[in-house]
Amino acid sequence: MTVTKGLEGIVATTSSISSIIDDTLTYVGYDIDDLAENATFEEVIYLLWHRRLPNKEELKELTAQLAENMDVPKEVLDHFKTFPIQSVHPMAALRSAISNLGLYDAEADVMDKEANYKKAIRLQAQISTIVTAFARIRKGLEPVSPKKDLSFAANFLYMLSGKDPSAIEEEAFNKALVLHADHELNASTFTARVCVATLSDVYSGITAAIGALKGPLHGGANEAVMKMLTEIGSVENVESYVKNKLDNKEKIMGFGHRVYRNGDPRAKHLRAMSEKLTKLTGQSQYYEMSVKIEELVTSQKPLPPNVDFYSASVYHSLGIDHDLFTPIFAVSRTSGWLAHILEQYDNNRLIRPRAEYTGPGMQKYVPVDER
């Protein structure tokens, strides 16, 4: 057997959902640059699930279905109040809530195609409500019910703050959702597919994916980037901070990506949005620090920034708590996870790789008194 650490370069399945070829990311053949500039998140959800963009009626129907299914069972939200609310990380709360959500779905274990699609609608709609409700409950605030006439992106920001977002805020958040929606066979997507390949249910698949996304080497990177920017404090401190990190061979979060040689194609969209939003909110120092860090790091190492690097200052400028950055990633990536879960069900085979054994050779049992 040939062993490849981290399964790097191993092709584990076929998929018609997204591709990364020559540093170009596509969703069903549509370049991410095209979608980031033009598409709504609702269009991207439809594209990932149906492998084509919707017409007006289909988009209207999906938008209505998402809006109608955003309400979450009261029992799920009340469960948050039993958590150690001031210390629990939102990703841990989200992981538990999605698992809990399955208990209140009468079709949770119904595995036909129609039932699974309905569950996909409910999960995509409700994860947004769960994240925003937790964010408010831990501050002693009541959850805000969604508005039926708002877009998915606008509804999230509305449920988080209780205020209708501005056009630029909605645009920025929609763009972030589009950019994070899918990314081929990343760690959390692979986890979801492994889980449901056993014919486990959709809720189990999404819960497993959230568990994988929680790690700082995957979804947690943008939260770590914002922590870094906060620690640095000002542009004047960037050079010494970066030099110290590089001299000590410490990782600087938000740089490099295993599947891209010349840079993450998503990063430039959030860089432009970071510049615009930080200026608008009077927090240009975060964009300026980010640019300076990028210049210093890329001059020393061939590691361009990835999508996490500039998403940190974008989310901060939207007034979002830093530990909510990864749950927001999950809100978006749920669309991709669900696409892959449904695809796995359609052409399923149990995913069961092998491991090369490196332990001792054949041994003989010795009774405990003789050891």
- Side-chain half-sphere CA neighbours of 353 within 13 A: 17
CB burial readout 213-246, b (16+ within 10 A) else e: bbeeebbbbbbbbbebbeebeebeebeebbeebe
Distance of alpha carbon 362 from alpha carbon 316, whole angstroms:
57
For residues 235, 291, 166 and 39, what is the CA-based torsion angle, rounded to 10 degrees?
-170
Written as six digits, the tokens of 254 are: 């938000």
Q: What is the DSSP string of 172-189?
A: HHHHHHHHHS--SS-HHH
Out of 180, 183, 257, 316, pick the active-site residue: 257
Pick the closest to residue 136 from 185, 197, 178, 90 (CA basis): 90
Pick the closest to residue 320 from 175, 149, 158, 211 (CA basis): 158
Out of 182, 201, 264, 308, pick the active-site residue: 308
Distance of alpha carbon 180 from alpha carbon 172, whole angstroms:
13
The answer to whether residues 143 and 77 touch, using CB atoms and an 8 Å cutoff, is yes
Q: Is 164 a catalytic residue?
A: no
Distance of alpha carbon 202 from alpha carbon 348, whole angstroms:
14
Q: What type of residue is 131?
A: V
Q: What is the DSSP string of 91-106?
A: HHHHHHHHHHHGGG-T
Q: What type of residue is 36?
A: A
What stretches of 281-324 show up as alpha helix (H) in DSSP? Answer: 284-300, 307-317
Q: Is 89 a catalytic residue?
A: no
The answer to whether residues 19 and 184 touch, using CB atoms and an 8 Å cutoff, is yes
Residue 247 sits at the vertex; the CA angle it makes with 246 and 252, to the nearest 5 degrees, is 20
Distance of alpha carbon 84 from alpha carbon 75, whole angstroms:
17
The residues annotated with a catalytic role in the active site are 257, 308
